[in-house]
Amino acid sequence: MLRVRGTTYHFRRIVPPALRAALNRREIWVSLKTGYQNEARKRASLLHARTTELFSQAHLALSEPDALSRLEGLRVSLRDLQRVNLPSSAQETGSVPVSAPMPKPQRQSKQAKTPKAQPLMLSGALKRFVLDSPHASADTKKATQRAVDLFLQAFGDASVSIIGGEKAGAFRDLLFSLPASLGKRKSTLTLEEEAQRAREESLPTLSGKSVKNHMMRLSALWNQLHQRELVTRNPWTGWNFENGQKTVRRSWTTTELALLASASWHSTSVPEQTFRLVTLIAAYSGMRLGEICTLRQEDLQTVDGVPCFLIRPNTETGWAPKTEAGTRIVPVHSKLIKAGLLALKDTINGPYLIPGLETSKQGVRGAALGRAFSLLKTRIGLPAEITFHSFRHTVSTQLRNTDTNIREVWIDRLLGHEASHKSQGTTTYLTSISTANLKQTIEAISYPETAFKKRTF
């Protein structure tokens, strides 16, 4: 019954097959003129009652002698539904009960009624007071557009007069739950799904500063609306942007790695063998959890005589590296080869290199592993500063502190980091780093014997 087009809800109802020829239509489609779901449901229920009564009258009219004239009146009534401006509740309409007969359409009086002023929608306020303003800078337009777009994605378009503290607070809370990488890569997920992905994968979320910037852009827009008496107050001011103590993730210690290696695995959604394999790859490559879990069999190839992981976009699933620099090759560490990783490719079924993982409803492969790891680390008493991403921190720290002759740009290339100095020379050099140099870099990663159990795959 409810359909969404853009940011507006619509009412849709199929006309019974027996009445389609008589009423000259197959379906009824009416804009509900709101972006709020609860409001749309109220208005749709009124339309459902009205159309039910019309269908009932049409069935009766078909059996009467003057059916033609009666049906013409019903067709007019159906057309009038398209122009109805539904109020927010039955109490405001003095709505007619379902059983009451529908009044015949009234002829318009000669004196035209003054059209009702349309409410100023948020999208319209953005265009009128920011995007079309000759006084707003390009940065202001871009930043305000971004903030408004996020609100529209979350809640849909609505009249500025009904956006109050409740919606402002809900928007603030949502912003704090979104991944910090939002907007830096293509994504088909909704904002709620992005927030869920951030929770499941323990991703860093938007900082208080970023949330404050979005809220301040909306506050500046509302200041203009308030000055023009288009709104009664500004709901975007007075908020606190401290979201608790920020947990700074760090590298693993030798003791913590030994504790992880000796811990028993209790998850029923992810096989232990899969968990051990993924953690071993992370520890000896610095790859992200999402990069490991989405590896396909063809992403394990020999490049210049060196076995390598190929981190690259997958057009079939829509997955892509986090940044442009994330598209790269990562040589396979000798410890992984010794554990039997290369032979694993010939023993598994399916397109993916890592077996035993499912894709979540949000399209994230490995989400269950991320949740299982979080439960495990809590059970064995690891601190909040340690997450799965800490393997990446550990690799980065080891490589930057190594005594071997490894250059900073090799490390950046291996980990998929943007170059520290984005000169033309550095950019060109990054693309021409040899596989042999990357192999030398990856082999500098080492751990004590107690860090991982001896196992093969």
In Å, what is the CA distance from 314 to each residue of 41, 319, 349?
40, 5, 19
Query: For the chain, which residues score pLDDT lower than 70?
Result: 65-72, 74-116, 184-185, 243-247, 419-431, 453-457
For residues 288 and 416, give the distance between their C-alpha atoms in angstroms, rounded to a whole number.
10
Beta strand pairing call for 8-14 and 306-311? unpaired
Phi, psi angles (nearest 5°) of residue 235: -80, 0
Could you tell me the pTM of the whole model? 0.51
CATH 1.10.443 maps onto the chain at 254-444
For the stretch 242-280, what's the b/e string if a residue is b when 16 or more beta carbons lie within 10 angstroms of its beta carbon? Answer: ebeeeeeeebbeeebbbbbbeeeeebeebeeebbbbbbb
pLDDT of residue 417: 86
Report the pLDDT value the prediction gives residue 405, as an integer from 0 to 100. Answer: 85
Give yes or no for a contact between 43 and 86, defined as CB atoms under 8 angstroms apart: yes
Amino acid found at 444: A
Q: Which fold has domain 254-444?
A: hpI Integrase; Chain A (1.10.443)
For the CA atoms of 321, 325, 327, 331, the dihedral, rounded to the nearest 10 degrees, stands at -120
124-145 pLDDT per residue, tens: 999 999 999 998 888 899 999 9
CB 178 within 8 A of CB 198: yes
pLDDT at res. 320: 85
